[in-house]
Amino acid sequence: MRFTPEQTHAIERRKGDMLLDAGAGSGKTTVLVERFARAVVEDNIDVGAILTITFTEKAAAELRERIRTRLRAVSDDSAAHATEGAWISTIHGFCARVLRTHALTAGLDPNFTVLDEHEANELQNAALDAALTELARVEEGADLIAAYGPRALRSAITDTYGELRARGQLRPQLPTSAQVDHARLTGARSAERCRAELLQLAAAVSRELAAVAEPGKQVQQAIAAMDRVRRVLAGGVPWPGELDRIKLPGGTANALRTETCGDYRATLEELRVLAAQDHALAMLDTLDVLLRGYGERYAQLKRERSGLDFEDLELMAREVLKRKDIGRRYRERFARVMVDEMQDTNRVQLELIDLIAGVDLFMVGDAQQSIYGFRHADVELFEQRGQKLAQIGARSSLQTNFRSRAEILTAINAAFSWALGDNFRPLLPSPQEQSTVRTQQEPLV
């Protein structure tokens, strides 16, 4: 097989950790397959001693088949046959395999089932219904539901629960209001001080607008808004939504573009943020009651089914691998670890990878293709790891694209270099495509 110089470098550097920035269509799967095959044939590593983690079941199946085919071409059939039981899977498939092996240690039924997204959503909805019903029975809970509405609360609680689990909390909970209040920066501007300044600015704006000889519609709307300021702010720090009633209108009127009007607008927005924080802080403890109530009910419903969701797999496998004896056995078992789509990992998944990887961890990813932030993937973790490895010469890249014409790549590079700035890595045309372009540009004789 023929490889580009950048692919050859990624294939042949098999000792030590390495991060490979692989652009779209750059042949990263080919590199993963060849590294696997050469580890077996040239480095005499057993097929079962190589852990390969991919992003989807489909990608894992494709990778397994391509590795099997490549091993048949360069080795004996026994190595190819061994790929049937090889550790080639998604991160969740790996976690499930670990937990089934150590079910008693994890406190699990060895025959647990893995809930798909639809099944998990059904249990989550039932758990949240029960938690909201229970919360509505107390005054603070009824006030919280009335203030935010059931739909907004459902979204906030499920999103927060998922985010905290992705950050490593097995049983998510919020900090107490006392902890948050204590953690505020000393001397930070308070909502009350901001409210007092806004009252003064409103009076100054009113004086300016009163001096306008022939006020137009926008100025008249602004005067009416300033007349409402004292009523809106009379009761102390207002509900953030109430501040919309005292906004200055936009437009081109010179009377609304003064320095005083600009100060008023900036202070109003600052008050909106501070007011939201104050009101949220007042309800934080009640929100925590709802979050923990939801989490406990969701966990109970899963226990009744002997089911685990994807986050359970990650968190519980992490706890098992944190045991020194078990973690050591897995690190000794895997001579090589390869991880694809590294840019779409979260904190818990990265911790899992570090628990099982020795000194030969090969990571492939592309920050420019990170699209799973809504599933709590954190591309910053990928970049931080890449920066550390770059300092020791252990970061490389694949930029040659084998899928697209040179003209298309030129357009893509122009568009995304403008959007992403200095962080953008351009895609380069393949040697064959470059040759075609040169031929087309040669003058006719």
Contacts 24+ apart (CB under 8 A), 383-388: 385/19, 385/342, 385/350, 386/19, 386/21
What is the predicted pLDDT for the residue at 413?
79
Inform me whether the pLDDT recorded for 186 exceeds 80.
no
Is 174 in a helix, a strand, or coil?
coil
At position 324, the amino acid (one-letter code) is K
What is the per-residue pLDDT across 108-131, written as a single tens digit (0 to 9) for each? 999 999 999 999 999 999 999 999
In the predicted model, what is the mean pLDDT of the chain? 90
What is the Cα Rg of the chain in Å? Answer: 29
Pairing of strands 50-54, 87-90: parallel
What is the per-residue pLDDT across 310-325, written as a single tens digit (0 to 9) for each? 999 999 999 999 999 9
What is the predicted pLDDT for the residue at 187?
45
208-217, 294-303, 396-405: range with lowest mean pLDDT: 396-405
Among the listed residues 369, 437, 396, 356, the one whose alpha carbon sits nearest the alpha carbon of residue 49: 356
| Triad 402, 405, 407: Cα angle to 5° | 140
Report, as an integer, the average pLDDT of 184-208: 82
Which tokens is 85 given?
């039981």
Alpha-carbon dihedral sign for residues 65, 314, 306, 104: positive
| Triad 129, 130, 133: Cα angle to 5° | 85
CB 114, CB 92: distance < 8 Å: yes
Report, as an integer, the average pLDDT of 149-167: 93
pTM flag (> 0.85): no
The rounded distance, in Å, linking the Cα atoms of 419 and 417 is 5
- Buried b / exposed e over 27-56, threshold 16 CB at 10 Å, is bbbbbbbbbbbbbbeeeebebebbbbbbbe
CB 54, CB 63: distance < 8 Å: yes
Look-up: residue for tokens 């010469």?
A: 393
* Alpha carbon 56 to chain centroid, angstroms: 17
What is the predicted pLDDT for the residue at 188?
54
Inform me whether the pLDDT recorded for 443 exceeds 50.
no
Helices then strands (H, E): number in the chain? Answer: 19, 10
Point out which residues pair with 54 in neighbouring strands. Answer: 90
What is the predicted pLDDT for the residue at 182?
54
What is the per-residue pLDDT across 221-238, written as a single tens digit (0 to 9) for each? 999 999 999 999 998 888
CB 234, CB 221: distance < 8 Å: no
Which tokens is 299 given?
């966990």
**Max Cα separation, the chain?**
94
Inform me whether the pLDDT recorded for 327 exceeds 50.
yes
What is the predicted pLDDT for the residue at 172?
95
